[in-house]
Structure 1
Amino acid sequence: MVSVALMALGVAAWAGLRAFLPSDEELARRLEAAFEARTGHGLVVGELRWRLLGLPVVEVLHAHTQQKDAIRVRRVALHPQLLPLLRQRLVIDRLEVDGAEVPRDSLNALQDRTADANDRVELRRLVFTNLRYTSYSGIAVAYDGEVSFDEDRLPRRVQIRRPGVSPPATLDATREGRTERGADIYRLRVQAAGGTLHGQARLTTRDDGHLLLAGELAPRGVEVQALLDAFHRRSFISGRASGETTLRAEGETLGALFRSLRTRSELTVDGGKILRIDVAKAVKSLGEDRAGQTPLDSLSGVVETQNTEDGMKTTFTHVKAVAGDYSATGCATLYRKQLAAQGELDIAGGLVDVPFAAHGPTRKPTFRIAKGSIAGAAIGTVLLPGIGTAIGAQIGGAVSGPPAAEGDGVSGQRECP
């Protein structure tokens, strides 16, 4: 009987409370107004539902921002604690986001105009499923994940995975203590493309709140083509990469930290292969026939990445590849959907150096090679096999002109480190 009476009392209290609380429609309009005040962009809420009895929850359905490329979300569920609300603080036990479409430029355009309000908001756990993030290049990639936070609002554990990808692609970062200088230590475990990247990162919070991140990873046996396939990117090479990677970032918030992330990797690739280009065919045909693949005896280089306002910038330096009688050295940059590359192709054990360059859109770059040197090498091979290739290069210079005519895009290329 006591339980029945308490239940009846609770129902009566809830009925009275509802009379003073906003309706679903009114709360939806309040949310739209608050979002615009905070970010500078409008928000349209398709439906909003909320309840206090049982498990308190505010559920937003089919919402989108008013931008050229709108941020869209199928469902957001917010589970708040009730008592902190009496002290004008919002403590969210769990925030669930499902079916979000997030264009990069639209996300960056949102401006937080009420940063002071963050002191009254505390998030304990974030869970997202089928969150599709579209990069600067226009490639949409889906993620599932979960982030739990400690009371100091720093992440306690971060788990991110690419759904439906085989082999699995996952990130697990776990907070594991502090250094003597007060930096928070995170153990990093990445599984991707049949390989692993394990290591550690240190997050330092200065007295003014500024965040600094530094860390190291050890890539082991990561299949390059499978890794890029997992993120809908096209690879020019295949093979298993291993080496050492360093991380560095800084910013005022965790979001700013991610946007400033830089990496540097010194890598070697086992079982490497150049895809879609047969170097031997390209040399013999002066670049006119290059269909096929080129197995590599060895491949090594340094890869640096930097997140920028216009997408990720990737730089390749100290690249060296060996394939049978040919070897090549060079450097390249991928940025804003453009490729810029240059280097030298060594023939006959380095007796002949042939400059080459590639530039233009990443989907269809222009490839240029010093035809004079190639022609000379061919003449030398016919006249005097072996060492004659070097002599023939000089003959080729006389027959075909200088190694690279003005405007070839390959003359004077000595800018690689």
Structure 2
Amino acid sequence: MKHPVRRWLIGIAAVLLLGTGALVWVASTRLPSDEEVAVRISEAFEKRFGIGLKIGGAHWALWPSPVLVLSQVATDQARPITLRRITLQLKLRKLLQRVVAIDEAEIESLVLPRESVRAFRGKGPKPKEAGHLFSLPAPWALAPIPLEKLRWRDIVWIDRRGIELAYDGDVVFDTGWRPRQARLERAGASPPARLRLDREADRDRWRTRIDVGGGTWNGVSLFELLPDDTMRVSAELEPRQIDIEGLVHAFGRRTAVAGKFSGQTTLVAQAGELGALIRSLHTRTTFSVKPATLTRLDLAKAVTTAGISRGGTTPLDELTGTLDTQGGEDGIVMRYTGLKARSGLLTASGNLKLFNRKLDGEVAVDLVDGVVGVPLKVGGSMSDPEVSLTGGALAGAAVGTAVLPGVGTALGARIGQQVEKLFGEEEPAKKKTVPPQPQRSPGVSR
């Protein structure tokens, strides 16, 4: 290469570098200091949500790439929402054009107490506002994809009972804040509890894969923006061989049923903003558990004693039914309907409601050796369930025992229950009379 040409190339490169440096220097002289950045973000947050925000540290830099780091962030609440660090990587070219385009955001150690999050209800972005939590002063604007990738580690949700659940995950966005790909998983869960979404082309339809309890819960999810500006999310999923104990343990809960279930699930949620959308979630799952075990109840014992029964186990060949869940202001209501259980010892059918860990339901039990249709009341809690006869059924059982032990007890209880339904429950203040222990008919199992 001739020396004049080389000198020209070196000169052009030097001019480009100097020009870029000059642009960065000019842009940097117009940017606020780290302290001013922290103050402006705090003020904008309080203006938007009506809740103060404390920022322990803020750092802003343009070189070698634009970055904004906030650390030790906390809301001004009795039990604050806290954030150890958030890092935003911005695009320099867009920034110089006064366009906000975040290449990647990373959240580390965000703690969300339920009662503190409730203070933000109704203040989240509406569908048409989803592009801007904070208004940008002219001439600044948002890019068509304001945030391309979001990653989070150790986001902790603390529920009303103080149970802490940590989540990791990431999401890659398309325009309109549609996830192109997303992953959410329970940190440290074994076996893994993980949700993955993959968008199908440019449609508002996602392939949905869930791994939990050693099984799968796969299907398709849909998103719709309705004419009244509300959002609607729906899904059709197929649970396959999911271990119930593994499922609930992954989310810090306990269960009174053991076994693996399969079935069909439909899901729908509809609301005008994200928080309300989550709270409105309704699911319906038809399920079959083969085999199953009631780990804290002995139904056969409850039938043969005609009294309150706690503890024990009931092995079942199969348990089927439908579970409906409905979110609300105070938690999730779970309703089990059409429950049917069978084993070599007994068959049973009934319905059950579970809310705030309290059980309320009825079940009718048939023993294979002739005791038919004994009506039992299910109560107590998930950690200490109990079955018993209602007041009317107890009175009927007492009559049945006097007339005919065993089968007479069951028939009397059944008649007593029907009379009770016709004339109403007895007064709560009245004490229920427990009948004498019935004699066992020949062949009646315990």
Shift of 1:336: 3.5
Query: C-alpha separation between the residues in 2 aligned to 1:167 and 1:173?
Result: 19
Matched, 1:304 2:324: yes
Q: Secondary structure at the match of 2:190?
A: coil
Q: Residues 345-356 of structure 1 correspond to what in structure 2 (within 5 A)?
A: 345-348=365-368, 351-356=371-376
Shift of 1:230: 0.5
Matched, 1:112 2:128: no
Matched, 1:357 2:377: yes
Query: C-alpha separation between the residues in 1 aligned to 2:212 and 2:41?
Result: 39
Structure number with greater CO (CA < 8 Å, separation at least 6) is 2
Shift of 1:277: 2.2
Q: Deviations over 1:277-297 (max 9, x none)?
A: 223333444455643321112
Q: Which moved more, 1:109-118 or 1:308-317?
A: 109-118
Q: Identify if the C-alpha distance between structure 1 residues 329 and 380 changes in structure 2 by more than 3 Å, giving closer, same or farther.
A: farther
Q: Deviations over 1:138-172 (max 9, x none)?
A: 32211111111102321111211112111111111
Q: Identify if the C-alpha distance between structure 1 residues 194 and 396 changes in structure 2 by more than 3 Å, giving closer, same or farther.
A: closer
Q: Identify if the C-alpha distance between structure 1 residues 127 and 397 changes in structure 2 by more than 3 Å, giving closer, same or farther.
A: closer
Q: Residues 374-389 of structure 1 correspond to what in structure 2 (within 5 A)?
A: 389=406
Q: Which moved more, 1:289-298 or 1:214-223?
A: 289-298
Shift of 1:324: 3.2
Q: Secondary structure at the match of 2:354?
A: strand
Match of 2:183 among 148, 156, 159: 159
Q: Which moved more, 1:251-260 or 1:297-306?
A: 251-260
Query: C-alpha separation between the residues in 1 aligned to 2:304 and 2:53?
Result: 60
Tell me what 1:69 maps to.
79
Where structure 1 has 5 or more consecutive residues not aligned to the other structure, the ranges are: 384-388, 412-417
Q: Residues 13-412 of structure 1 correspond to what in structure 2 (within 5 A)?
A: 14=24, 17-85=27-95, 89-110=99-120, 112=123, 116=129, 118-119=131-132, 120-121=141-142, 122-177=146-201, 184-207=204-227, 209-287=229-307, 290-348=310-368, 351-359=371-379, 362-364=382-384, 367-369=387-389, 370-372=393-395, 389-391=406-408, 393=410, 406=426
Q: Identify if the C-alpha distance between structure 1 residues 398 and 273 changes in structure 2 by more than 3 Å, giving closer, same or farther.
A: closer
Shift of 1:25: 1.5
Query: C-alpha separation between the residues in 1 aligned to 2:414 and 2:352?
Result: 27
Q: Identify if the C-alpha distance between structure 1 residues 134 and 350 changes in structure 2 by more than 3 Å, giving closer, same or farther.
A: farther
Query: C-alpha separation between the residues in 1 aligned to 2:415 and 2:319?
Result: 34
Q: Deviations over 1:88-145 (max 9, x none)?
A: 5432221111111112332232253886583555222111111111234432211111
Contact persistence 2:309–2:387 (CA under 8 A): no
Q: Which moved more, 1:242-251 or 1:279-288?
A: 279-288
Query: C-alpha separation between the residues in 2 aligned to 1:41 and 1:261?
Result: 27
Query: C-alpha separation between the residues in 1 aligned to 2:401 and 2:66?
Result: 79
Task: Give the TM-score normalised by the residue count of structure 1.
Answer: 0.83
Contact persistence 1:38–1:113 (CA under 8 A): no
Q: Secondary structure at the match of 2:123?
A: coil
Query: Computing the radius of gyration over CA atoms, which structure comes out larger, 1 or 2?
Result: 2
Tell me what 1:415 maps to.
none
Contact persistence 2:296–2:313 (CA under 8 A): yes
Tell me what 2:438 maps to.
none
Query: C-alpha separation between the residues in 2 aligned to 1:11 and 1:88?
Result: 17
Q: Deviations over 1:208-240 (max 9, x none)?
A: 543222221111100111100010011110101
Question: Percent of aligned pairs with the same residue?
Answer: 34
Q: Secondary structure at the match of 2:176?
A: coil
Where structure 2 has 5 or more consecutive residues not aligned to the other structure, the ranges are: 1-9, 133-140, 433-446
Contact persistence 1:276–1:293 (CA under 8 A): yes
The amino acid that maps onto 2:362 is Q
Task: Give the TM-score normalised by the residue count of structure 2.
Answer: 0.78
Query: C-alpha separation between the residues in 1 aligned to 2:412 and 2:385?
Result: 31
Q: Secondary structure at the match of 1:177?
A: coil
Contact persistence 1:65–1:72 (CA under 8 A): yes
Q: Identify if the C-alpha distance between structure 1 residues 403 and 211 changes in structure 2 by more than 3 Å, giving closer, same or farther.
A: closer
Aligned residues: 398
